[in-house]
Amino acid sequence: MAEQNNEELERMKEDLEDIEMYLQEFSAFLPLSVCSVNPIGVVISVNSAFENVSGYSALDSTGKRVEDFFVETEEVKAFLGETRESKNFTESKQVTLLSKSYGKRTVDLTASRRSDREGDFIGFFVGINDITELTDLQNRLEDKVAEQTQDLLLRTEELERSRREIMLALSNVEEERNKTFSLVMNLSDGLVYTDVEGNIEMINPQAEALLRVNHKEVLGTAVFASSASDRFQKLSASLNKDRGLEREVIEFSEDLVAEVSTVSINNEKGELVGRVIVLHDISKDKALDNLKVEFISVAAHQMRTPLAAIKWAFEILLSSDDEKIAPELKRIVENGFESTNRILKIVNNFLDVDAAETVNSDYVFAPVNVQKVIEDVFSGVSIAAREKRVELLFENQDQVLPYVQADQERLGMIFQNLIENALKYTIKEGTITVKAEARPRDLLISVTDEGIGIPVQEQKNIFSKFFRAENAKKTETDGNGLGLHTTRRVVERHGGAIWFESVEGQGTTFYFTIPLYNK
């Protein structure tokens, strides 16, 4: 019997050891970190997972207060207090574990109440689930979402700002468009806007009136081939398909003379997007000019004969024997002779204007060698140029230029006026450059100086009769304001055009065209 009891005890002992080994292995395998805690919160035992996550060995952990493993000590104590009162598992709580190996780890804390056979409270099982990676991932995701939300907000703000700016810009554009439209519609000059192909896109009321057309008839039609009215036909005939025209005075009818110019419209890239044809009614100016010309013509003719007689009288006196005239009187006679000569020169200038503006005056058109004309003019002004240390330069000296169809004497006058002006308004030193460029239908000639230039506000009047710019008056008191006016009339009588570019204080370039001689 005693032997049976011993065998039974031995078997029970082996079973107990097997169970203990099983429990130890199970505890070691269990991935959840678990510790056993006594009723006052002291850790009694821990499993391997707890040792790993806390970084404390079982011996180090045992005897420590469980809340000391966490940052939130009071919260953990309160949590265990709730667990003690609860019959079931309490909900998990997220706290921060102070791991000896890994530092602060975010963990889910769970706890269950333990009781003995009699139901008396004997402590807790506390579980720790390391959710640091999960929390970090969640935080990163939240940060990312927050960042993207912020980015989205910024972009939305930017878009809203852009929208407001665009609306403002549109409003400004609309306002500008209205202003421009109003300006165009009320402009005293006629305006015709065409696209690149020359199709009319806009015509203002003044242009309608000047050309005697209705916008409904001409919008969308080609400006180069319009026959909407006689006047429009004249305009079309004058326009060049490639360049329009630079500037031309067109006599549309007896009561309408207009200065017509074309302005190219380019976009930001410099590409041609359209043209504006400007019709400036100069009928009144023309009539006034005619009156002036008539007056000048009459006055000049009336004055030339008496002046010639006076000059003749002075010449007689001066050519007589010196002894018969007292020296003092002779000096007076000489002064009178010089003054009479100057007056005669002015009168002759007036008569040149008259001749230039008289359509049927005696122009003799023939093939003319421009190089010869330029050389003659250079020769005539060379002394004065040397005195002012001004260099005269003809860039096409060694080229063969085509002949032009011109009145040689009056072509010489054009060069004479432009080069004399250039010399007159170059204060001292500098270069006067004459350049010629043969084009399909004409010769484009430029005269460039490094003189005083023409003030911007006075440029529009520079071809007007008797007009002299303020800075020109100060520089050169002698002048009648007829030179450029006469020059333009002569150029236009040749079928050419004249214009200029000038920067005050830097110089001026005059351009003019003369038709080529057509065999």
Partner 1 sequence: MTDAFLQNDTLFPRVSTRENLLEEVKKALEWDRGHVLGISLKNDSLKAIEKKAESSNAEDKINGVFADLGFDIHISALAPHSWYPAGYGPAIYLVSAYLFGWDKDDIIDLGRISTRGTMLMKVVMRLVSMEKTMELAPKIWRKYYDFGELRPIEYSEEDSFAVFQVVGYDVHPISEPYHCGYFSGVVELVTGSKNTQTEAVKSVYRGETYSEYKISW
Residue 99: which residues within 8 A CB-CB, separation 6 or more?
Answer: 53, 54, 55, 105
Nearer to partner 1, 47 or 221 (CB): 47
What single string gives the DSSP state of each residue in 353-412?
A: HHHHH-TTS----EEE-HHHHHHHHHHHHHHHHHHTTEEEEETTTTS-PPPEEE-HHHHH
Query: Which of these segments, 53-61, 125-133, 421-429, 439-447, binds partner 1 (CB under 8 A)?
Result: 53-61
Binding-site size for partner 1 (CB under 8 A) equals 24
Q: Within 10 A of 397 (CB to CB), how many other CB atoms are there? A: 10
Q: Within 10 A of 306 (CB to CB), how many other CB atoms are there? A: 9
Nearer to partner 1, 60 or 501 (CB): 60
The verdict on 45 binding partner 1 (CB under 8 A) reads yes
Nearer to partner 1, 116 or 362 (CB): 116
The verdict on 30 binding partner 1 (CB under 8 A) reads no
Nearer to partner 1, 116 or 321 (CB): 116
Interface pick for partner 1 out of 20, 174, 175, 176 (rule CB under 8 A): 20
User: Nearest-CA neighbor of 95 among 112, 70, 78?
Assistant: 70
Interface pick for partner 1 out of 6, 57, 150, 264 (rule CB under 8 A): 57
Query: Which of these segments, 34-42, 132-140, 169-177, 379-387, binds partner 1 (CB under 8 A)?
Result: 34-42
Nearer to partner 1, 115 or 139 (CB): 115
- Per-residue binder mask for partner 1 (CB under 8 A), 65-84, x = binder: x-------------------
The verdict on 17 binding partner 1 (CB under 8 A) reads yes
The verdict on 63 binding partner 1 (CB under 8 A) reads yes
Q: How far apart are the first and last CA of the chain?
A: 156
Q: How far is CA 180 from CA 184, 186, 360, 425, in A?
A: 6, 10, 43, 39
User: Nearest-CA neighbor of 42 among 79, 67, 72, 71?
Assistant: 67
Tell me how far apart the alpha carbons of residues 33 and 80 are, in angstroms, rounded to a whole number: 17
The verdict on 212 binding partner 1 (CB under 8 A) reads no
The verdict on 509 binding partner 1 (CB under 8 A) reads no
Of 366-405, binders to partner 1 (CB under 8 A) are none
Query: Which of these segments, 33-41, 193-201, 369-377, 432-440, binds partner 1 (CB under 8 A)?
Result: 33-41
Interface pick for partner 1 out of 22, 26, 121, 312 (rule CB under 8 A): 121
The verdict on 62 binding partner 1 (CB under 8 A) reads yes
The verdict on 135 binding partner 1 (CB under 8 A) reads no
Interface pick for partner 1 out of 38, 52, 396, 446 (rule CB under 8 A): 38
Instruction: Give the type of residue at 208.
Output: E
Tell me how far apart the alpha carbons of residues 15 and 5 are, in angstroms, rounded to a whole number: 15
Q: Within 10 A of 493 (CB to CB), how many other CB atoms are there? A: 19
What tokens does 343 get? 């007056």
Interface pick for partner 1 out of 33, 34, 35, 41 (rule CB under 8 A): 41
Interface pick for partner 1 out of 3, 116, 118, 478 (rule CB under 8 A): 116
Write out 418-476 in H/E/C secondary structure: HHHHHHHCCCCCEEEEEEEEECCCEEEEEEECCCCCCCHHHHHHCCCCCCCCHHHHHHC
User: Nearest-CA neighbor of 488 among 468, 508, 511, 507?
Assistant: 511
Query: Which of these segments, 31-39, 167-175, 422-430, 507-515, binds partner 1 (CB under 8 A)?
Result: 31-39
Interface pick for partner 1 out of 30, 39, 205, 336 (rule CB under 8 A): 39
Interface pick for partner 1 out of 58, 245, 303, 325 (rule CB under 8 A): 58
Q: Within 10 A of 69 (CB to CB), how many other CB atoms are there? A: 28
Residue 400 exposure: Cα atoms within 13 Å on the Cβ side = 0
SS3 for 489?
Answer: helix
The verdict on 152 binding partner 1 (CB under 8 A) reads no
The verdict on 245 binding partner 1 (CB under 8 A) reads no
Nearer to partner 1, 17 or 151 (CB): 17
Interface pick for partner 1 out of 6, 8, 11, 13 (rule CB under 8 A): 13
Of 169-208, binders to partner 1 (CB under 8 A) are none
By the 8 A CB rule, do 104 and 97 touch?
Answer: yes
What tokens does 205 get? 């009321």
By the 8 A CB rule, do 280 and 252 touch?
Answer: no
The verdict on 26 binding partner 1 (CB under 8 A) reads no
Nearer to partner 1, 29 or 121 (CB): 121
**Interface with partner 1 by CB under 8 A: which residues?**
13, 16-17, 20, 36, 38-42, 44-45, 57-60, 62-63, 65, 116, 120-123
